Structure 1
Amino acid sequence: MFCFLRRIVASRRQISTSTFQQLLCVQNQWLPSTARYWNSISSSGYSFTVSYLIDACGLSPEEAASASRYVRFESREKSDLVINFLKNLGFSKSQIIRFTREAPQCLRYDPEKTLLPKIEFFISRGVSSSEIPKLLCSCPNIMRRSLDKQLIPSFDFFRDLFQSDDQFIKSLTYFPRIILHTSTLVVPNMKLLKEVGVPQSNIIKLLQLYPRTFTESPSKFNAIVEQVQEMGVDPSKYQFIMAIYALSSQSKATWSKKANVYKKWGWSDDDIVAAFRRCPFCMKISEGKIDATMELLVDKLGCPPSTIPNYAVVLSLSLNKRIVPRASIFQVLLSKGLVKKKSLFSIFVCTERVFLNRFILSHGEEGSELLKLYQAKLDVAG
């Protein structure tokens, strides 16, 4: 039609003005009707998709509109099969909502051919059937990856690294997204840690405890490693991998806010770095906990702020379940002359067994009263 009109326009001089005007009228009538036709098809598919995502999958109108950018269908046969498949796996309503919101493309899959083989693979490797809904909802995009080209090779890589299916499954169920980035993120970041002298056992420990750390981009991960090195943390020590986790899991703005709380209590930048070297988790606790712990140590127990960085591990301990109860015992013992002030930090860091024997039960008749006081404080902490 368009080519025909172009030829007519090119030869306009050979036809009458009235004939040309009639042809333009036909063109103007045809174009809107054609546009309306294609728009009606598109609108119909969009409308049905959004309605289905709302009614059958439980998405909100906003979520359905967003998901419809990635999937479009005009009938419910295929998608109903997927929804029923998920229900038979034990998915709850909220889990179906999360799965379809994050991976709407899966609604077009054949569940028997595409989804089931992947689920059977994970079960064959030790993931319990009851854990499957949680695993898939934590990372629905697992179902969009190739079983043979990605999921199996990645699983085997981690299994060989951990030397155990069970050990890797613990990390996988905690953070399943790690299996999607093995070659692009995990391997390069592991290689960097080896190059700077981190022992293999510590690398595996970091993978087990905080697998998300390894999904940072290699450039950002490298910057974090360099920052930890500049702070003087020894790569051969356990603190090095904890420092990497502590930095990767918070923004610079968050770090700055916590640093400012410490500075309010008289710490310098060097004090903060010294404390971080000894116990990286002193920068993982909340600003409120930092403030409350420093208040107890400085104002109530009379500890000079400059000495606390040397015992930074105390800051990472539970305030209500450990520091406050034991501080109460320390204050009583100190008032009776039964301990010296230099025992302040040792009373916090020792094990529960050592604490009870050394600071409570060893004091004869007074021990029973101290034990009652200690238990009351623990009860308040819940």
Structure 2
Amino acid sequence: MYYMILHGRRLIELQKCRHLILAAQNQNPFFAFSNSYSSTSAAAAVTHGRKGQNFTVSYLVDSFGFTTKLAESISKKVTFEDKRNPDSVLKLLKSHGFTDSQISDIVTVYPQLLIADAEKSLAPKLKSLQSRGGATTTSELTEILTKAPKILGIKKDKALSVYYDFVKDVIEADKSLEYKKLCPSSLPQGNTHENKIRNILALRELGMPQKLLFSMLTSGSQLVCGKEKFAESLKKVVGMGFAPTSLKFVNALRLVYGFTDKTTEGKIEIYKRLGFSVEDVWTAFKKWPSILIYSEMKVTNSIEEFLALGFSRDELSTMVKRFPQCIGYSSESVKKKTEFLVKKMNWPLKAVVSIPQVLGYSMEKRIVPRCSVIKALMSQGLLGNGSELPPLSSVLTSSDEKFLNLYVRKHDGKQLIPELIFIFNRGRLSYNS
């Protein structure tokens, strides 16, 4: 957006407003930090397989019309440096009746399919499923595999057929006006496939959505392969009040299933020795089950870092109860963000305590760009409250659209928007270069 504005009649306005950035730079050393931070990030990104990732992002955007943000997210799961293999996969799917919309959905959920061997791996599976007893229609095949594309990653023919039939039954039952209970396939008792389907049926009856059900069905996790232990773990998690419709339920079930009572007690003891009550730990667990994953050394080091930064134990307890994820962040990340917000920007430490989720925000994409705008406005006395900092929550927790409305677009009459947009986008431009 800045570059579009830069060329043309607005160039004169930009030159007149240039003092805004210069004044902010002279007054605040934080801008040097911003430039250094962005340069380091860009250099690191370039050395980390940037070529393949760039090609993958471009391919996903051009072939499927994905947004750059979605394409970048997918490129973290799979990358490729030429289009031969993904093109062959797309050609195969289209030859079997998949629409462009269905293929886009499949790639979003299971992008690894783009690097599968179309001829040796995917084609035989599609042919097998489509010709099973002559009963599978093209529309049925495409609907089922769009709902659960990871089925195509299953190697064994028997498991492929069993899971395909199960997904088909669930989809058909859910289309019925009357909720149907499904019976497990006639597989030998104790068989892994039978156990998995029985357990997933139990989750379905609790109201777990198809997306989570099918993901667990096609995973290699032992979680849904057992019998008595699964039932016991499921009862515990339901009793804790987790909603079966959420991924948090799955994560809690996974942890309860994987831990013995002794292991769980040991994890709680770690937090108790560091000043947390049992109630504190379970409150945090219900918000973020992964809090019980960490070792005593990890938790201890994390707490010591928070204390070294000036947080009290009571404040840390409050932060963990509000946003338990913060205990798992690296010491380097917590220190960098806290020192930036408190020392560079001058927000009080209690502001971070009140909204600890800010420690999970990206320096490059959110914290630095937004704080740059605030510093520039303060340097010119253009904030409504003079030179006083606005609330941390309004600066960092709001959406981009709301932030721009609050701090950028309101200055249209002062011809400052081009410079403020430049400041806002600077971190992102450097990060994506």
CA 1:304–1:175: 2 relative to 1, 3 Å: farther
Cα pair 1:243 1:280 within 8 Å, conserved: yes
Q: What CA distance in whole angstroms lies between the structure 2 residues aligned with 1:286 and 1:292?
A: 10
Distance in 2 separating the partners of 1:162 and 1:175: 22
Contact 1:192-1:222 within 8 A present in 2 as well: no
Deviates more, 1:166-175 or 1:369-378: 166-175
What does residue range 245-284 of structure 1 map to in structure 2 within 5 Å? 245=290, 247-284=291-328
Residue 149 of structure 1 and its aligned partner are, at CA, apart by 4.5
TM-score (norm 2): 0.51
| Equivalent residue runs for 1:294-333 within 5 Å | 294-333=338-377
Equivalent of 1:357 in 405, 411, 420: 405
Secondary structure at the residue paired with 2:391? Answer: helix
Correspondence for 2:222 among 172, 177, 181: 177
Aligned to 1:368: 418
Q: Which amino acid aligns with 2:334?
A: I
Aligned to 1:123: 164
- For the Cα contact (< 8 Å) 1:293–1:319, is it kept in 2? yes
Aligned to 1:158: 203
Which AA in structure 2 matches 1:161?
A: L
- Residues 8-42 of structure 1: CA distance to partner in whole angstroms, max 9, x if unpaired? xxxxxxxxxxxxxxxxxxxxxxxxxxxxxxxxxxx
Instruction: Identify which of 246, 255, 264 aligns with 1:213.
Output: 255
In the alignment, does 2:378 pair up with 1:334?
A: yes
Answer whether contact 2:233 2:256 (CA < 8 A) is retained.
Answer: yes
The answer to whether the 8 Å contact 1:243/1:276 transfers is no
Q: Following TM superposition, by how much is the alpha carbon of 1:187 offset from its aligned partner in structure 2, in angstroms?
A: 3.7
Question: Greater CA deviation, 290-299 or 224-233?
Answer: 224-233
Letter in 1 for 2:321: R
CA distance in 2, matches of 1:268, 1:180: 44
CA distance in 1, matches of 2:244, 2:382: 41
CA contact (8 A) 1:168 1:208 kept: no
Cα offset for 1:193?
4.0
Q: How far apart, in 2, do the equivalents of 1:271 and 1:206 lie?
A: 25
- Greater RCO (CA < 8 Å, at least 6 residues apart): 2
Q: Distance in 1 between matches of 2:232 and 2:302?
A: 31
Give me the whole-angstrom Cα distance separating, in 1, the residues matched to 2:294 and 2:220. Answer: 17
TM-score when scaled to structure 1? 0.57
Return the offset for 1:314.
0.8
Amino acid at match of 1:356: L
Q: Look at both structures and tell me which one has the larger radius of gyration over its CA atoms.
A: 1
Alignment of 1:220-259 (within 5 A): 220-221=263-264, 230=277, 232-233=279-280, 240-245=285-290, 247-259=291-303
The alpha-carbon distance between structure 1 residues 280 and 173, as it changes in their structure 2 partners (threshold 3 A), is farther
> Of Structure 1 and Structure 2, which has the larger fraction of its residues in helix?
1
Q: Which runs of 5+ in 1 are unaligned?
A: 1-86, 92-113, 128-144
User: Is the 2:248–2:288 Cα contact (8 Å) retained in structure 1?
Assistant: no
Instruction: Measure the CA separation in 2 of the matches of 1:205 and 1:259.
Output: 27
CA deviation digits over 1:303-338, x for unaligned, max 9?
232442112111122222111111111111222223
Matches of 1:243 and 1:200, distance apart in 2: 11
Residue 191 (structure 2) aligned to one of 138, 146, 158: 146
Give how far 1:243 is off. Answer: 3.4
Q: Report the AA paired with residue 199 of structure 1.
A: G
Q: Structure 1 residues 187 and 310, CA, compared in 2 at 3 Å: closer, same or farther?
A: farther
Q: Deviations over 1:127-185 (max 9, x none)?
A: 9xxxxxxxxxxxxxxxxx7146412212322232344433312345566332124631x
Partner of 1:39: none
The separation in 2 between residues aligned to 1:248 and 1:166, in whole angstroms, is: 26
Q: CA-atom RMSD, angstroms?
A: 3.3
Q: Which has the higher mean CA deviation after the structures are superposed, 288-297 or 339-348?
A: 339-348
C-alpha distance in 2 between matches for 1:380 and 1:303: 25
Equivalents in 1 of 2:355, 2:246: separation in Å? 27
> Could you say which residue in structure 2 is the equivalent of 1:344?
392
